[in-house]
Amino acid sequence: MDIIIRDNYEQMSQTAAEYIAGLVRAKPDCVLGLATGSTPIGTYRQLIKMHRDGLDFSRVTTFNLDEYLGIGMALEKPFHMDQSYARFMHEELFRHINVKKENIHIPDGLTQDPKAFCAWYEESIKKAGGIDLQLLGLGGDGHWAFNEPGSSLGSRTRVQALTAQTLDDNYEAFYKNAKIERSQMPHFAITMGIGTILEARNILMIVNGAKKADMVAKCIEGPVTSQVTASAIQLHSGGITVVLDEAASSKLAHAEHYKHVESMKRQYDI
């Protein structure tokens, strides 16, 4: 696991964007797994800048982790609410880069048949050749995507009920300013499962802020448990990169060691 600690959010975002851009340059038809939330916004802004400087997304395929059930979806359909992840992705990334509409996949929050949709989503990832790089944030309760505590570490794309903490966190970040009542927020979501995420060939997790420092320590240094679904990162067998800002890394017992390892890797190119 490569654990990279940067001074602040901007540097964390820059490092993450460079990593993603490196893959897009090396494999122009790569499959990217994308995430929502406030954390990746800086990374997306950097990618947009890189696109303006020539980074080409025309052959890239994307799969988003999750979507609220009851709102959304497809970019050509009207949005029910501004808070859909489809809208977020469109605003924060897709409309600024040259990714093709037909190559974008986001779970359909308006599906009439969630079960069939989830099976189709899994199948589509397989058909695309699997995900080369999955970008992830970290939920306040330790979740990846919407895999709330208690989700099986082998879980697949499915409907998940959201915890009170997740509703509170996301209300503060995305609903309050839009003057939407907390009671009106969707209480369910379609989410890729932990098993689905672990099949990505590479994982890139980004976390910032002191608020998540305890959860970062649990996820990286604590036991692997379905109570902190992001702790499944310790089970991944491919490339794992975690980029943190200083504040998010502040509760890690071995932060100094991770910094040492990173500087050795840079120095000796290993």
What residues make contact with ligand GLP under the rule CB under 6 A? 35-39, 65-66, 137-139, 145-146, 166, 170, 173
Query: Is 269 known to be catalytic?
Result: no
**Cα angle: 95, vertex 99, 103; to 5 degrees:** 120
The minimum distance between CB 65 and ligand GLP, in angstroms, equals 5
The minimum distance between CB 155 and ligand GLP, in angstroms, equals 14
- Name the residue nearer to ligand GLP (CB basis): 19 or 55: 19
Query: 261 in helix, strand or coil?
Result: helix
The minimum distance between CB 54 and ligand GLP, in angstroms, equals 28
Exposure of 37 in the CB half-sphere (CA atoms within 13 A): 24
Catalytic residue among 67, 122, 132, 141: 141
Describe the strand order of the beta sheet including 188-191 as a list of residue ranges. 66-68, 188-191, 158-161
Calpha distance 240→245 (Å, rounded): 17
- Name the residue nearer to ligand GLP (CB basis): 149 or 262: 149
Catalytic residue among 92, 122, 132, 143: 143
Query: Is 257 known to be catalytic?
Result: no
The minimum distance between CB 90 and ligand GLP, in angstroms, equals 16
Give the residues across from 191 on adjacent strands: 66, 158
The minimum distance between CB 193 and ligand GLP, in angstroms, equals 13
- Name the residue nearer to ligand GLP (CB basis): 39 or 111: 39
Catalytic residue among 67, 148, 169, 245: 148
Nearest to 134 by CA among 21, 31, 3: 31
Answer whether 137's CB lies under 8 Å from 40's CB. Answer: yes
The minimum distance between CB 98 and ligand GLP, in angstroms, equals 25
- Name the residue nearer to ligand GLP (CB basis): 38 or 250: 38
Q: What is the DSSP letter of 79?
A: P
9-26 helix and 41-52 helix, angle to the nearest 10 degrees: 50
Query: 258 in helix, strand or coil?
Result: helix
Nearest to 132 by CA among 217, 218, 48, 19: 19
- Name the residue nearer to ligand GLP (CB basis): 173 or 261: 173
Catalytic residue among 66, 67, 199, 245: 66
Calpha distance 48→71 (Å, rounded): 26
Pairing type for strands 61-64 and 31-34 reads parallel
Query: Is 148 known to be catalytic?
Result: yes
Query: Is 102 known to be catalytic?
Result: no
- Name the residue nearer to ligand GLP (CB basis): 15 or 55: 15
Residues with catalytic roles = 66, 141, 143, 148
